[in-house]
Amino acid sequence: MSDTQFRMLDGMVTVLPAQTLEAFRGALRGPLCLPGEAGYEEARTIWNAMIDKRPAAVVRAAGASDVIQTVRLAARHGLLLSVRGGGHNIAGNAVCEGGLMLDLSRLTSVRVDPQARLARVEPGARLADLDRETQAFGLATPVGINSTTGIAGLTLGGGFGWISRKHGLTVDNLLSADVVTADGELVRASAAENPDLFWAIRGGGGNFGVATSFEFALHPVGPQVIAGLIVHPFAAARDVLREYRELVAKAPDELCCWVVMRKAPPLPFLPPEVHGTEVLVLALCYAGDLAAGAEAAAPFKAIGSPIADVVGPMPFAAWQAAFDPLLTPGARNYWKSHDFVDLPDPLIDTLLDAVRRLPSPECEIFIGSLGGAINRVPAGATAYPHRNVNFVMNVHTRWRAASEDGPCIAWTRVLYEAAAPFATGGVYVNFMPEDESQRVQAGAYGPNYARLARLKAKFDPRNLFRMNQNVTPA
Ligand SMILES: Cc1cc2nc3c(=O)[nH]c(=O)nc-3n(C[C@H](O)[C@H](O)[C@H](O)COP(=O)(O)OP(=O)(O)OC[C@H]3O[C@@H](n4cnc5c(N)ncnc54)[C@H](O)[C@@H]3O)c2cc1C
């Protein structure tokens, strides 16, 4: 091993002598990977192919001890540090250019206690890992809709998916976490221990330390649920959306129905002539009894004249992975997101106008439905503040060739600006791209930002954990 140059927190560079790195490598359980070494490319490659950064070195942690030593090394030498969980975040902050990358993706253990209805989860676990272990006992905790997403980043930002209207955000089900803070100490954060830190990590992202273990409350769900897709022709989209918003407003908490507008992929249940044409999809899941689910789904199935309706009983774990084939890693991605309280007609028209001009076959506009249990938690109870939001728009712009970057990003920004007059001004931190640092204070955290900034000053005054949607220490 030779002397190695690292990017520092202040933007300067420093050189760590070979013997310092050798000693560090010898103290780790997991591998330390330098450019060209086995594991380096795998660790730095993340979901969004737009992100192509080259850290000076990567620690592929094998446990909390490796995390502690990595944080201490970075703190001692003032090294730029990034932390990777599942590597799914659109902004790509899991990887840093020229700094030290801490890769947690090999820590995937999930231990379920079915009697106590608890899961203890390591920070490299994917949502599929958690669902498979919990569903073995007919249990679940609310997480996102793409099963390859990492539990760590999702949880630290808030986390919502198909059963959140019934059971709340992922952070509303977080009971405790082990966290390595900026001074390299491992502490427990829960309602009883370090409650300030516990408040901050429930939405404050990676700003406050490295989570090495999460403990979640579980609920009976499935293993079979009523779920599936209802596909409508785009010509009917305006009428469908107007009926949809009325039905969602009076739906039980168990029922969650999201909207996806895109060009139809070649799904086997769609006639070939529909493939590649614009469609509106209602994606629905009922977190409860099958008979009650069928009854609650009936009004949604009765909307308009769908091209296809494949809502019915299915394994919850399978439904949790239903969108995986459309959200595979390796594409170029750019996202923009708004929160809405309702979906007025002019907003619907704005969205439909954008769908008519989709810049690539893989682009989609998602409208997620929130509310229910999420909104019964006070905005100040966790760092995640958006407890009045009923709909979240996420524009998933997705394409393959770098030559298409310009038109695809431009289309996204035009839609974002056009929809802004109808939005709350808030934004879910986990849906923000890397160029949105100006939205962190007012948009991502709003009324909770001042407290987050004070806690950042307490737990990370030097801003060691800055590769994230960053909270500036007060
Ligand atoms: C296709 C797709 C679908 C999605 N669907 C949903 C959804 O339905 N619901 C939802 O809520 N979100 C969803 N998301 C957003 C998702 O929650 C975020 O992308 C999240 O950050 C992913 O977590 P990760 O661990 O995979 O990400 P990473 O990129 O590994 O990490 C993101 C950031 O989190 C921090 N971080 C990661 N691990 C740790 C740790 N252990 N300790 C401290 N900080 C850490 C770091 O700052 C890092 O930069 C989706 C994302 C994608 C790409």
Ligand 1: centre distance to CA 149 (Å): 6
Query: What's residue 55's pLDDT?
Result: 98
Q: What is the best residue among 50, 82, 89, 178 to mutate for testing ligand 1's pocket, by most ligand atoms within 8 Å of CB?
A: 89
In total, the chain counts a number of residues equal to: 474
Give me the residue label for tokens 């079915």: 114
Beta bridge mates, 314: 225
Whether the bond between 223 and the residue before it is cis, its omega within 30 degrees of 0, is yes
Is 81 touching ligand 1 by the criterion CB < 6 Å? no
Is 213 touching ligand 1 by the criterion CB < 6 Å? no
Is 69 touching ligand 1 by the criterion CB < 6 Å? no
Is 153 touching ligand 1 by the criterion CB < 6 Å? yes
Q: Which of 344, 334, 336, 347 is nearest to 419 (CA)?
A: 347
Do residues 211 and 177 make contact, with C-beta atoms less than 8 angstroms apart? yes
- What CA–CA distance (Å, rounded) separates 156 from 438? 20
Three-class DSSP category at 157: helix
Beta bridge mates, 139: 220
Please name the residue ranges forming H helices in 28-103: 40-44, 64-77
Please name the residue ranges forming H helices in 361-435: 405-419
Three-class DSSP category at 224: strand
Do residues 252 and 300 make contact, with C-beta atoms less than 8 angstroms apart? no
Query: What's residue 139's pLDDT?
Result: 98
> Measuring CA to CA, how many Å separate 48 from each of 41, 366, 396, 408?
14, 18, 11, 15
Please name the residue ranges forming H helices in 267-376: 290-301, 316-320, 345-355
- What CA–CA distance (Å, rounded) separates 71 from 84? 13
- What CA–CA distance (Å, rounded) separates 321 from 323? 6
Ligand 1: centre distance to CA 33 (Å): 23
Which positions ≥6 away from 468 have C-beta within 8 Å? 93, 205, 206, 207
Q: In ligand 1, which atom is closest to the CA atom of 201? A: 43
Cα 468 → chain centroid: 13
Token pair of 162 as six digits: 């198909």
Ligand 1: centre distance to CA 155 (Å): 8
Report field, pTM of the whole predicted structure over 0.85: yes
Token pair of 141 as six digits: 């905790």
Query: What's residue 364's pLDDT?
Result: 97
Task: Give the torsion sign (CA, 81, 83, 87, 88).
Answer: negative
The rounded radius of gyration (Å) of the Cα atoms in the chain is: 22
pLDDT in tens, the chain (474 residues): 899 999 999 999 999 999 999 999 999 999 999 999 999 999 999 999 999 999 999 999 999 999 999 999 999 999 999 999 999 999 999 999 999 999 999 999 999 999 999 999 999 999 999 999 999 999 999 999 999 999 999 999 999 999 999 999 999 999 999 999 999 999 999 999 999 999 999 999 999 999 999 999 999 999 999 999 999 999 999 999 999 999 999 999 999 999 999 999 999 999 999 999 999 999 999 999 999 999 999 999 999 999 999 999 999 999 999 999 999 999 999 999 999 999 999 999 999 999 999 999 999 999 999 999 999 999 999 999 999 999 999 999 999 999 999 999 999 999 999 999 999 999 999 999 999 999 999 999 999 999 999 999 999 999 999 999 999 999
Q: Which of 411, 417, 393, 397 is nearest to 334 (CA)?
A: 397
DSSP state of 443: I
- What CA–CA distance (Å, rounded) separates 441 from 474? 12
Query: What's residue 237's pLDDT?
Result: 98
Please name the residue ranges forming H helices in 237-363: 237-249, 290-301, 316-320, 345-355
Query: What's residue 250's pLDDT?
Result: 97
Give me the residue label for tokens 């310092």: 20
Query: What's residue 1's pLDDT?
Result: 80
Give me the residue label for tokens 């439905």: 369
Query: What's residue 219's pLDDT?
Result: 98
